[in-house]
């Protein structure tokens, strides 16, 4: 969903009250990613032409522009390090307002790509650039999950 439109196409305050902004909208291309996340697996795309992995999933390589036939899904190992973060104290979009404060972050995945995510199971005072993290998954609806990261234990 984008803006303030609800699932039925309505807009305005009533739509904001019923819309969920944390539910993935899978299409034919992203369906493998979201199905893997629901099973606790993080997928990346890797280009056979230049060898580089990327995230968020795209049908082409953003580095060498190789087409869909040269870019494949692969499972990430789930390790990352913290690149940067911000503590969010206010978010009016459902259901994020119920979670404040929360930590929005950018992490460097072991395979190379940077990924925007949320950090869980740690306070802001515990965070440091370069700290090791491990992927986890938050259920976001029936049969749906989104990747989040927690400190590696």
CA distances from 16 to 73, 83, 96, 141 (A): 34, 32, 12, 18
Does the pLDDT at position 17 exceed 60? no
Q: Is 6 a domain residue?
A: no
Contact 76, 108 (CB under 8 A): no
What's the mean pLDDT in 39-51?
97
Q: Note whether residue 131 is domain-resident.
A: yes
27 found inside a domain: yes
The H or E element that residue 131 is part of is: none
**pLDDT score of 4 more than 70:** no
pTM: 0.82
Q: Does residue 96 sit within a domain?
A: yes
User: Measured between alpha carbons, how far is 19 from 4 in angstroms, rounded to an integer?
Assistant: 8
What lies within 8 Å, CB to CB, of 51 at 6+ separation is none
The string of pLDDT tens digits covering residues 112-133 is 999 999 999 999 999 999 999 9
Is the pLDDT score of 148 beyond 60? yes
92 and 122 Cβ atoms separated by less than 8 Å: no
What b/e sequence results for 118-152 when a residue is b if at least 16 CB atoms lie within 10 Å of its CB, and e otherwise? bbeeeeeeebeeebebebbbeebeeebbbbbbeee
> Which pLDDT belongs to residue 8?
40
Residue range 79-94, pLDDT digits in tens: 999 999 999 999 888 7
Q: Is residue 5 part of a domain?
A: no
Asked, for residue 128, whether it belongs to a domain, the answer is yes
Q: Total domain count for the chain? A: 1
49 by Cβ neighbours in 10 Å (0-12 / 13-18 / 19+) ranks as middle
| Domain housing 82 | 13-151
Closest CA to 73 of 101, 117, 34: 34
Quick check: is 52 in a domain? yes
In a domain, 121, yes or no: yes
């Amino acid at each position: 969903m984008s803006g303030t439109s609800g699932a039925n196409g309505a807009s305005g305050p009533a739509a904001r009250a019923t819309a969920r902004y944390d539910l993935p909208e899978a299409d034919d291309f992203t369906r493998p990613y979201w199905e893997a996340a629901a099973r606790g697996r993080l997928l990346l795309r890797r280009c056979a032409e230049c060898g580089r992995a990327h995230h968020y999933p795209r049908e082409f390589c953003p580095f060498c522009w190789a087409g869909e036939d040269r870019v494949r899904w692969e499972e990430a190992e789930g390790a990352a390090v913290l690149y940067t973060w911000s503590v969010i104290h206010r978010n009016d979009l459902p259901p994020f307002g119920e979670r404040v404060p929360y930590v929005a972050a950018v992490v460097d995945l072991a395979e190379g790509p940077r990924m925007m995510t949320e950090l869980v199971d740690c306070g802001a005072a515990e965070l440091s650039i370069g700290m090791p993290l491990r992927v986890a998954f938050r259920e976001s609806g029936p049969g749906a999950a989104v990747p989040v990261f927690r400190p590696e234990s």
